[in-house]
């Protein structure tokens, strides 16, 4: 039986690292995990000793590294079964009126354009895969119909734009047998969450419980449930917005 090849963009820490760790426990999986700087991604480098994990350098903001990452992946495999784009940033939670042009642009470039350009480059490899599953880690703050009451400004806008593109992409690739979905990973205790605490609470003080014990889940919990979700995705599940717990979210 052929092994299942998983490609994970943004796997040096947090959810991406936990996904790579969880998937690598199955010897029938091959995991290609990316990091902006593999030399400093010590946990990922340690994981690569398992034998079925390959680490590749990739920076979504640098199109040259997207092409070089593709070249490295082609040395490992000529097809990808499950494509997961997890890379992203969240550096401001200020209200719209206090968010700068630079902040809007940096989030859009990394969280929206980066994943799209990455998939454009890897499309042919995924097309050759047996599962053709394309997963973009988005966020519930990207929904339009049920927006949260706290400010997400540049981050929420970038995720909403990503969801828009994913929905179109799902329609464009439907006849080719692709399964294309955005997923909400949950409110996860990652460096991104903890690093945003002071900035977030400065503008949203009523949401302090999010950062307290029980207010969020661990990266390991998110990864385990995301893995189950991804494994169970069928063609009829494509072009829908899914939460890590298997529930469908509104666009």
Give the confidence band of 1 by pLDDT, cuts at 50, 70, 90: low
What pLDDT does 188 receive?
Answer: 72
pLDDT of residue 186: 85
Q: What is the pLDDT of residues 220-240, one digit of tens each?
A: 999 999 999 999 999 999 999
Residue 201 contacts by C-beta under 8 Å, 6 or more apart in sequence?
207, 208, 211
Q: What is the spatial distance between Cα 59 and Cα 37, in angstroms, rounded to a whole number?
A: 8
94 pLDDT tier (thresholds 50, 70, 90): confident
Residues above pLDDT 70, as percent of the chain: 87
| Gap between the terminal Cα atoms of the chain | 38
pLDDT band at 92 (very low <50, low <70, confident <90, very high): confident
Structure confidence at residue 243 (pLDDT): 95
pLDDT band at 116 (very low <50, low <70, confident <90, very high): very high
- Partnered with residue 34 across adjacent β-strands are 56
Rounded alpha-carbon distances, angstroms, from residue 168 to 155, 161, 202 = 20, 11, 36
**Residue 239: what pLDDT?**
97
Instruction: Round the average pLDDT of the chain to a whole number and report it.
Output: 91
User: How much of the chain exceeds pLDDT 90, in percent?
Assistant: 76
Residue numbers annotated as active site: 155, 159
If we measure between CA atoms, which residue out of 179, 193, 101, 97 comes closest to residue 139? 193
Query: From the CB of residue 47, how many other CB atoms can be counted at a distance below 10 Å?
Result: 19
- Least confident residue range of 7-21, 53-67, 188-202: 188-202
Sign for the pseudo-dihedral over CA of 90, 93, 95, 101: negative
Residue 87 has pLDDT above 90, yes or no: no
Instruction: Walk across the sheet containing 82-85 and list its strands.
Output: 53-57, 29-35, 4-9, 82-85, 133-137, 179-184, 241-243, 248-249
| CATH annotation of 4-249 | 3.40.50.720
* Domain boundaries along the sequence of the chain: 4-249
Give the span between the Cα atoms of 129 and 13, in whole angstroms.
26
- Report strand pairing: 248-249 vs 241-243: antiparallel
């Amino acid at each position: 039986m052929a092994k299942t090849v998983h490609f994970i963009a943004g796997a040096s820490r947090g959810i991406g690292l936990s996904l790579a760790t969880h998937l690598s426990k199955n010897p029938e999986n091959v995991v290609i995990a990316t990091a902006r700087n593999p030399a400093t991604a010590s946990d990922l480098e340690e994981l690569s000793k398992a034998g079925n994990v390959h680490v590749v350098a990739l920076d979504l903001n640098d199109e040259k590294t997207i092409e070089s990452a593709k070249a490295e992946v082609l040395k490992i495999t000529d097809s990808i079964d499950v494509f997961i784009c997890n890379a992203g940033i969240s550096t401001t939670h200020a209200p719209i009126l206090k968010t700068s042009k630079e902040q809007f642009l940096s989030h859009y470039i990394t969280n929206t354009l980066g994943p799209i350009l990455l998939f454009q480059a890897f499309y042919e490899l995924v097309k050759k895969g047996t599962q053709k599953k394309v997963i973009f880690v988005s966020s519930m703050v990207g929904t339009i119909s049920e927006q949260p009451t706290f400010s997400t400004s540049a981050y929420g806008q970038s995720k909403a734009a990503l969801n828009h593109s994913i929905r179109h992409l799902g329609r464009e690739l439907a006849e080719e047998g692709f399964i294309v979905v955005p997923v909400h990973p949950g409110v996860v205790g990652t460096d991104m969450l903890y690093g945003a605490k002071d900035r977030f609470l400065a503008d949203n003080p009523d949401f302090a419980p999010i950062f307290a014990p029980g207010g969020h889940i661990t990266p390991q919990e998110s990864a385990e449930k995301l893995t189950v979700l991804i494994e169970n995705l069928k063609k009829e599940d494509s072009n829908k917005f899914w939460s890590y717990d298997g529930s469908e979210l509104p666009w």
